[in-house]
Amino acid sequence: MKIARFSRVGFILAAAGSAVGLGNIWKFPYIAGEYGGGAFVLIYLFTVLLIGFSIMIAEMLIGYLGRRDTVTSFEELSPRHKHLWKFAGFQSLAGLFIMIFYSVVIGWIFNYIVTSLSSLPSNVQEAEVIFNAMLHTDALTQLFYHTIAFVWITYVLTKGVKGGIEKMNFVLMPTLMLILGGLFLYATTLDAFSQAVEFMFYPDWSKINSNAFVVAVGHAFFTLSLGMGAIMTYSASMQKNSNLVKNAFWVVFLDTSIAIVAGLMLFTFLYQYGSGPAQGPGLVFISLPAAFYEMGILGNVFAVLFFLALAFAGLTSAVSLVEPMVQYFIDRFSWSRLKSSIYMGLFFYLVGVAALLSNVDGYKEALTWGGKNFFDWVDYVTAAIMLPVGGLLMAIFVGFVMEKSRVESVMRPQLGWAFDAWYFSLRYVTPVAMFVVIISLMGII
């Protein structure tokens, strides 16, 4: 069977599309706000460079050499204990599980695009009432937009690597960057831009604790799409003789740049028209719409553009979350792409309905246990366990299981003098960091 290959630009856009998602534009700004801005940003950047970049190269290497689905790639590249190491490939289940709630959140964004066309809340209190009403009482609206997200994502997956994923990213990624770039340029003209710069780049170490380091590592994995098989699966369709280091650099650079730009833009608007940056998860859906209202009719335009950008970021990531399991059933069971895409889509859609209802009055009690509802449990299990474990397994596999000569033959010509530092980090620094993150997020320490 002939495998479709990404073009070099197509791979970078697809991998960057996978990495650039809700974590950059929604999650990163509010986490930075909670941990004092500049100090957390510095820790995050350090984490991305020291750990995230290393793991991304390792994940690309496995996919590039394996040339198959994640399970088969681990199995074929393992010189021993193949029957055990193939199970490391099931890290791709993490992406499918993330989609259970990710699709619901994309539905929220679709809803806000529509509502932003007509009206915006006049203050934070009104915005909070509107968001909570949608979340806790309006199940039909959420279900309608969740269904639209499911149809879009599944359709793109059925079209394959070239006709679906690459083509979508060629359109959505440049459009996303244009929208964010335009909003950012406008933000630079506002008086509050200097406050946003100070908040983002002048560290306040008093708000930093040990948990901030754990959160930074965990978020680096989430936002770079590491530990879920997405980058590995895309790398299997990379052109031969591709430079993994350069590709990884561009993906990390685009992902991190968009997170920083989004943070500066959002904090500028909040300082100028809102109440400040530390607003928690409701920053995008509660604080920001109220800030847009203060801009008048221009605020409606900006709100629509912003939520469009957020939707594009979510959709490009969503496709990459499901593709690894789609490819698994194609490779291992000879399913057609149409059948595999529909089955995986129906899984996240139907289970996503349960996640959606777990926030809705009348259903949430039956879908809540251990202090968390089903939506929050899926988020917790994927972020605290599945992604870090996936990263840990990749570091151990490339650092200790694969023959060093095979790793070195590909990576030393590309890394040069930095190969030994990368290999050392992969063997000793990254596994320790991943282990600490896992036990911290699980509440063991």
Number of folded domains in the chain?
1
What whole-number percentage of the chain has pLDDT above 90? 49
| Total Cβ atoms within 10 A of residue 151 | 12
Q: Token pair of 198, please?
A: 């100070």
Residue 281 has pLDDT above 80, yes or no: no
The span from the first CA to the last CA of the chain, in angstroms, equals 49
Mean pLDDT, range 392-406, rounded to an integer: 94
Closest CA to 348 of 102, 177, 161, 121: 102
Any domain includes 383: yes
**Which tens digits make up the pLDDT trace of 242-269?**
899 999 999 999 888 988 988 898 888 8
142 has pLDDT over 50: yes
For residue 32, what pLDDT is reported? 82
Mean pLDDT of the 418-422 span: 94
In a domain, 159, yes or no: yes
Confidence of residue 405 (pLDDT cuts 50, 70, 90): very high
Is 1's pLDDT higher than 50?
A: no
- Rounded CA-CA distance 346/51 in Å is 34
Confirm whether 1 is domain-assigned: no
318 touches 153 (CB < 8 A): yes
Is residue 144 in a domain?
yes
Asked if residue 349 belongs to a domain, the reply is yes
- CB-based contact 180:338 (threshold 8 Å): no
Q: What is the pLDDT of residue 188?
A: 94
Q: Give the pairing type, strands 372-373 and 368-369.
A: antiparallel
User: Using CA atoms, how far apart are residues 51 and 388, in angstroms rounded to an integer?
Assistant: 12
The arithmetic mean of pLDDT across residues 132-155, rounded, is 96
Write down the number of H helices and E strands in the chain: 24, 2
Task: For the beta carbon of residue 416, count every other beta carbon within 10 angstroms.
Answer: 10
CA distances from 139 to 65, 107, 273 (A): 45, 11, 31
**pLDDT > 70 in the chain, percent:** 95
Q: Which stretch of DSSP H or E encloses residue 329? A: helix 297-333
Q: What is the DSSP letter of 348?
A: H
Phi-psi region of 418 (alpha: psi -120 to 50; beta: other; left: phi over 0): alpha
Please tell me the predicted confidence (pLDDT) of residue 308: 92
Task: List the one residue out of 4, 11, 7 whose CA is nearest residue 254.
Answer: 11
Whether 232 has a pLDDT exceeding 80, the answer reads yes
Q: Among 20-29, 101-110, 294-303, 429-438, which stretch is predicted with the lowest mean pLDDT?
A: 20-29
Looking up tokens 């560290």 gives: 203
Q: What is the pLDDT of residue 5?
A: 67
Mean pLDDT of 286-290: 85
Rounded average pLDDT over 378-393: 88
Kindly tell me if the per-residue pLDDT of 220 is higher than 70. yes
Question: Across the chain, what does the average pLDDT equal?
Answer: 88
pLDDT tens, 328-349? 999 999 999 999 999 999 999 9
Give domain status of residue 3, yes or no: no
pLDDT at 443: 63
The more confidently predicted of residues 140 and 431 is 140
Domain membership flag for residue 272? yes
Tokens of 380: 């917790």
Q: What is the CATH number of the domain that holds 130?
A: 1.10.4160
Residue 371 within any structural domain of the chain: yes
Better-scored residue on pLDDT, 157 or 274: 157
In whole angstroms, give the CA distance from residue 61 to residue 403: 13
pTM of the full structure: 0.90
Per-residue pLDDT of 174-212, as tens digits, reads 888 899 899 999 999 999 999 999 988 888 787 777 778
The whole domain housing 344 covers: 8-441
